[in-house]
């Protein structure tokens, strides 16, 4: 009986997490605005991102992803830009995104992919949470699933220098 209760609780937690995680991906049927193609050069502005508090001993890769539209948020294949940096002693943890539109909103996610499998690994018990470090632009620390609006930064003019602190290890 006790095992059954624990099992049902775990299944409900995982199901709840999957529903919450999938909720952000649902397209707004009324939003007919075009999506900027991944990699498109849309201007001459740039954002320089300094990644801080990386656990270098974990190794792996830092995946830094730039999003321009809310409807592409955390859909890495639809992101405007993706950059990777090898995480090792002495590595420069800076990323430059160029070819951007000036005076526009963007959001950035950084993921320390310690095992180099190309995705964020999760712990599901007792509550779902990431196993690997991550961070967001705008100093955003989500409580629950990350939201685009929390991570939005404004590129005013042609240059923005910002930083992202990696936590959640």
In whole angstroms, give the CA distance from residue 41 to residue 20. 33
CATH of the domain at 126: 2.60.40
Number of neighbouring beta carbons within 10 Å of residue 82: 15
In whole angstroms, give the CA distance from residue 160 to residue 164. 13
Specify if 119 maps to a domain: yes
Specify if 52 maps to a domain: yes
- Asked if the model's pLDDT at residue 7 lies above 80, the reply is no
**Average pLDDT for residues 25-34, to the nearest whole number?**
63
Higher pLDDT pick, 162 / 40:
162
User: In the predicted model, what is the mean pLDDT of the chain?
Assistant: 84
**Average pLDDT for residues 76-103, to the nearest whole number?**
93
Q: Is 14 helix (H, G, I), strand (E, B) or coil?
A: helix
Specify if 84 maps to a domain: yes
Specify if 125 maps to a domain: yes
With 0.85 as the threshold, say if the pTM is over it: no
- Asked if the model's pLDDT at residue 22 lies above 70, the reply is no
In whole angstroms, give the CA distance from residue 28 to residue 26. 6
Q: Any alpha helices (H) in 51-163, and if so which ranges?
A: 148-151
Domain of residue 85, residue span? 37-165
At residue 68's C-alpha, the angle toward residues 52 and 56, to 5°, is 20
Specify if 54 maps to a domain: yes
Please give the tally of structural domains in the chain: 1
Q: Is 41 helix (H, G, I), strand (E, B) or coil?
A: coil
């Amino acid at each position: 009986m006790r095992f059954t209760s624990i099992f049902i609780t775990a299944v409900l937690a995982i199901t709840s997490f999957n529903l919450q995680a999938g909720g952000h991906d649902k397209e707004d049927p009324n939003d007919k605005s075009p999506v900027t193609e991944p990699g498109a050069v849309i201007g001459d502005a740039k954002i320089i991102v300094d990644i801080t508090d990386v656990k270098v001993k974990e190794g792996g890769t830092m995946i830094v992803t730039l999003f321009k539209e809310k409807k592409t948020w955390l859909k890495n294949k639809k992101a405007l830009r993706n950059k990777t940096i090898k995480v090792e002693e002495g590595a420069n943890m800076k990323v430059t995104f160029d070819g951007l539109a000036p005076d526009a909103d963007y959001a950035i996610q950084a993921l320390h992919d310690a095992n180099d499998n190309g995705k964020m690994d999760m712990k599901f018990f007792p509550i779902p949470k990431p196993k690997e470090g991550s961070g967001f632009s705008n100093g955003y620390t989500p409580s629950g699933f990350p939201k685009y609006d929390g991570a939005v930064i404004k590129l005013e003019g042609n240059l923005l220098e910002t930083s992202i602190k990696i936590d959640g290890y």
